[in-house]
Amino acid sequence: MNVFLYIVLFIIGITFGSFYTLAVYRIPKGQDITHTHSYCPKCKHRLNIFDLIPVLSYIFLGGKCRYCKEKIRPRYFIIEIFSGVLFVILGFIIKLDAYNIELIKVIDYMFFVLYITFVVLIGAIDKEKRQINKSVLVYGIIISIMYMIYLYIIDETSIYRYVIYLAILLILLIIDTIKLKKKAKNSYTFSILVLIVIMTIFTEEYIVINSLIMTLLAIAIDLIILKLSKNSKNRINEKQYSGEMPIGFLLSVDNIIFFVITLIIECFI
């Protein structure tokens, strides 16, 4: 029965992965992500149900659009597989059991899914556009508040820690709003700070610290490569190493990695 449960979790995961790819494409364009039917970004042809089966459609169509034969980016397939595997891993770590379903475990799993959705959308959009999308950030703040309320209900001693984080979020949002009015543009730095606070609420301080260390290390390596490329006869494309690194993307990837590793360690200790 548990094997069937994990098969179901994998199917749910790849379905979410398919949604992630759609959302990452549409959200920056301000397009609807729930009611507008899926279509090919190249030829705009409306896709039928057989074109929308996660993972399988990509394989059977040979990675190409059925109508215009344009190649489909491999990231769609990769994100779907990654999402499916991640959903199964989370279910295993939380020890979901089809024979003994515990409400708290189910709620924990649901919050993990909401958080993973937030991190994936933030990271993927940042990688594509180098921007922390405000609507996704608002979604992250909302689920953070919901999560803090949930934790307070099951563990009253946790409220003081989360009140501090809520206050920090409020201060950052006020400062960001004031800055926005003056400069009439999004503040990438303040958005990253809000992202870090949300990550801390869901994944604890030490996981976020490790994520920050790995992100800073990646930035340092990027700067070293830039320096070397400027001094080299065979110069690397400087646009690739211009200091415009997608910090949100790096933080998101590192956070998911350390989060899952920590849960696995705690599961076997």
Encode pLDDT of 133-153 as tens digits: 889 999 999 999 899 888 888
Those residues whose C-beta lies under 8 Å from the C-beta of residue 63, and which sit 6 or more positions away, are 71, 72, 74, 77
Encode pLDDT of 24-80 as tens digits: 888 888 877 776 777 777 777 777 777 677 887 878 878 777 777 778 778 888 888
91, 6 contact by CB (below 8 A): yes
Those residues whose C-beta lies under 8 Å from the C-beta of residue 161, and which sit 6 or more positions away, are none
Q: What is the mean pLDDT of the chain?
A: 82
H or E element, residue 148: helix 134-154
193, 208 contact by CB (below 8 A): no
Mean pLDDT over residues 187-211, rounded?
89
Q: Identify the CA nearest to 262 among candidates 139, 152, 156, 112.
A: 112
Residue 180 pLDDT: 62
39, 47 contact by CB (below 8 A): yes
pTM for this predicted structure:
0.85
Determine phi and psi for 209, rounding to 5 degrees. -60, -45
Hey, is 185 helix, strand or coil? coil
Percent residues over pLDDT 90 in the chain: 27
Count of C-beta atoms within a 10 Å radius of residue 82? 17
Those residues whose C-beta lies under 8 Å from the C-beta of residue 24, and which sit 6 or more positions away, are 121, 124, 125, 128
Mean pLDDT over residues 155-179, rounded?
77
Residue 87 pLDDT: 92
Q: pLDDT band for position 1 (50/70/90)? A: low
- The C-alpha angle 221, 255, 88, rounded to 5 degrees, equals 130
Residue 58 pLDDT: 79
Bridge partners of 46, per DSSP, are 39
Distance from C-alpha of 68 to C-alpha of 3, rounded to nearest angstrom: 39
Res. 254: pLDDT tops 90: yes
Res. 234: pLDDT tops 60: no
Q: In terms of pLDDT, which residue wins out, 42 or 13?
A: 13
- As a whole number of Å, the CA-based R_g of the chain is 20
Q: pLDDT band for position 221 (50/70/90)? A: confident
Mean pLDDT over residues 94-117, rounded?
87
Hey, which of 51-55, 57-61, 182-186, 206-210 has the most confident mean pLDDT? 206-210
Distance from C-alpha of 252 to C-alpha of 260, rounded to nearest angstrom: 12
